[in-house]
A and B are shown apart, each in its own frame.
Chain A
Amino acid sequence: MTSPTPAKRPLGQRFDLERIVLGLAAPVLAVLLSLVICSLLLLSSGRDPFKAFDVMFTYGTASDGQVQIINKGVTYYLAAVAAAFGFRMNLFNIGVEGQYRIAALFTAYIGSQIDLPAFIQIPLLLVTAMLAGGIWASIAGVLKVYRGVSEVISTIMLNAISLAVVGLLLVPGIFAPKTGSSSNSIQTAPISQSSHFFSIETAGGTLWGFFIIAILVGVGFQLTLNRTRFGFDLRATGRSESAAQASGVNVKRMVLTSMAVSGALAGLIGMPTLLQSSYTYGTSFQQGLGFTGIAIALLGRNSPIGIVFSALLFAFMDVTAVQLPLQGDFPQEIVAVMQGTIVICVVVAYELVRRYGLKRQQQKVGAELAAQAAAAANKEVAA
């Protein structure tokens, strides 16, 4: 597809080239396969697939398209990192959706009630969002640790509950201002002026400054995973819980903390929109980001760098999809099909590539062992 092809040159020199190729093979395969499937779908409905891809590519390379892609990509990145954090230790936090919803609601409310100087206000709001998301996620963490409830079940249920909580609180007189509105929509009062995050005006429109936070989160994620005791414990627990426990990792505490951290990251998902564009939380606030995040994390192999590319790819597809029905009568649902097939294909492709890699490794080890044995035999003969 037309996503920025990963330019991993500095890494290429560092790592085994074969590993990189194998690692990239799966997502590239998946994207290609989904392109083929979508082309067939478009062809079967009598439309020209290349024209559709051309519309997408043209808009995606225009500056206003790019600004939108980055703005959307930032949100997607945060959503995916939140999910990936749990996935890294085999903790399936499906509740990202509910966590960011609750966090956005409370942050929007607090932002509308408090008006401090921006340098206090914005950190305060970010902390509020992370706390709200973290606490909501911790319910699932506590249930898992103390009651053995599977986090998959509890987080899905908490998603539904969070909807009800928002429905309960977001009514005129509680979190929404009392107005004689007769519309379907309802929202909190706008957040104070000092809560607005900085943005950059470019030729293509307003670029949200929030990408800085996304980068910080990405760097922090990478450092925590690879450079801290906590990160090591996290990965160890993810690989094998019992082995981690045997080697002295407090798995219970790990579950509690990583669930909370995953929720705290999820809390940030709504922030770019809230602090940069909508300034309110309400019925028009985007939904479903939690699930998009899971798909993006899967495609990005839960790695902070991989997710950058998958988030941008998904953002590219979603941004350009809007143009499809406007420029030539293409159904924009085709993009949803594309994303769906990418996610399915990538799971299959990763498994195929993993098996292939394993086989290659076995062959290599086998060859080395054979060479060693031969050398030893030679030595014996010589002696």
Chain B
Amino acid sequence: MRRSLKLAAVMLSGSLGIASLAACGAKSTDSTSASAGASGSSGIKVGMAYDIGGRGDQSFNDSAARGLDKAKAELGVQVNEAEAKTGEAESDKEARLKSLVTAGYNPVIAVGFVYQDAVNKVAKDNPNVKFAIIDSASADQPANVTSLTFSEQEGSYLAGVAAASKSKSHQIGFIGGVQSELIKKFEAGYTAGAKSVDPNIVVDVTYLTTPPDFSGFNDPGKGKEAAQGQLDKGADVIYAAAGSSGAGAIEAVSTAGKWAIGVDSDQAAQPALAKYKDHILTSMVKNVDTAVYTYIKSVKDGSPLTGVKNFDLSAQGVSLATTGGHIDDIQSKLADAQKAITSGATKVPTAPQS
């Protein structure tokens, strides 16, 4: 008995020792004074925290990065960026934001809904720092947090119009990355748009994963499989709102010689997908770059955007890409639909009718 007691004592004292060590060491922020602040030409230092994938994901994060690059080039702001890694804890996100704050970055932009809780927490502790979060808003977020959201359903409505106009088999497909409320908005708009052109059209809907499994946003294999399934059923235009899984769907659709519709960025213009560009009908572009740039500019001009700033069709927040000119022949139809939405004549649903 004595030996195990001793072991227990060692463990206890050991861990308590470490605990007390933690309490007396110097903080990491003590040494990092705001040394870099003076060198920036405009004096604004923008910190950016990406979601998983970061720069180079050919989609959502890349779009945000473009906005940041534009701000860097045109507004002369200093930037620092970091991305999330798979399976990290909430505390890692908080630490990332906190580190940006302590290094003097203000505003701090968090890309993606995953940061909502972390942003709320860190923003509360740093009321003098401005935060922006893309694609997410919560009722209890502090006043120094700005939400940049998009009317995905409106852009998807246009994508639906384009898909239904191009479909010969009267059957189109929708692939959602994860069955979340946000992606359901895409589905709702797409279906409504397609039905507005062809009331009898069949829309196949496939979600790759259900929360809490978010692998549906970065698994091209799953995207390919789902697209193949829809193609086999007879769909000839497929819209994939699935982050980087969409690349797999585009590949499958392209191999079958049908039309794919990209999402978030203009996917036909992306180097990684260039070989499929003849089969990318259009992309439902979410102009995250515009939002990011607008936000940074508003901070620089001294009148920062606050609250929830929604970028809809009329604010150029969402649009259809025209790369390749595949939708030039239906441009008038799209313009009519767009006019109907911006004038309020067409109300685009935000949740799928079931």
Chain A residues with a Cβ under 8 A of chain B: 4, 7, 10-11, 14, 58-59, 61-72, 75, 101, 163-164, 166-168, 170, 181-186, 200, 202-204, 207, 211, 214-215, 218-219, 222-223, 226-227, 273, 277-278, 282-289, 292, 304-305, 308, 312, 318-319, 321-323, 325-326, 332-333, 336
Contact = CB atoms under 8 A, between A and B. Distances in A.
Interface string B69-101: 000000000001111011111111001101110
For the residues of A in contact with B, the DSSP-based class is helix
Given A167-B211, A304-B11, A286 B88 contact: yes
Given A186-B181, A322-B82, A277 B90 contact: yes
Interface in B180-212: 180-183, 185, 209-212
Contacts of B138: 183
9 contacts: A63-B22, A75-B89, A184-B214, A202-B22, A204-B23, A218-B11, A287-B87, A332-B85, A333-B85
A350 to B, nearest CB: 22
B208 to A, nearest CB: 12
Interface residues of B, number: 65
Contacts of A70: 18-19, 22
A301 B88 CA distance: 24
B23 A286 contact: no
B21 A71 contact: no
A285 B18 contact: no
A282 to B, nearest CB: 7
Given A203-B27, A204-B25, A312-B18, A68 B91 contact: yes
Given A10-B10, A186-B211, A203-B27, A284 B114 contact: yes
A184 B90 contact: no
Nearest to B118: A284
A185 B214 CA distance: 10
A65 to B, nearest CB: 6
Given A66-B25, A204-B27, A215-B11, 15 more contacts: A4-B18, A58-B28, A70-B18, A72-B89, A167-B211, A183-B180, A184-B181, A185-B116, A215-B12, A223-B8, A226-B4, A273-B89, A273-B90, A284-B90, A322-B92
Contact of A287 (B14, B185, B212): B212
A322 B25 contact: no
Interface in B1-32: 1, 3-4, 6-8, 10-12, 14-15, 18-19, 21-31
A326 B185 CA distance: 34
Closest 5 CB pairs of A and B: A62-B28, A288-B87, A167-B210, A66-B22, A63-B25
Contact of B27 (A7, A62, A227): A62
A147 to B, nearest CB: 28
Interface of B: 1, 3-4, 6-8, 10-12, 14-15, 18-19, 21-31, 80-83, 85-92, 95-96, 98-100, 103, 113-114, 116-117, 135-138, 149, 178-183, 185, 209-214, 350
Given A72-B91, A218-B11, A336-B85, A65 B28 contact: yes
A322 B149 CA distance: 27
A282 B90 CA distance: 11
A66 B211 CA distance: 32
Contacts of A200: 19
B181 A285 contact: no
Nearest to A279: B117
Given A68-B91, A181-B181, A184-B183, A223 B4 contact: yes
Nearest to B115: A284
A182 B180 CA distance: 8
A184 B182 contact: yes
Nearest to B81: A325
Contacts of A63: 22-28
B288 to A, nearest CB: 15
A227 B82 contact: no
B219 to A, nearest CB: 14
Given A184-B182, A207-B19, A278-B117, A163 B213 contact: yes
A184 B113 contact: yes
A11 B7 CA distance: 8
A163 B8 CA distance: 37
Contacts of B19: 70, 200, 207, 211
A318 B80 CA distance: 20
A319 B15 contact: no
A104 to B, nearest CB: 10
B178 to A, nearest CB: 7
A183 B136 contact: yes
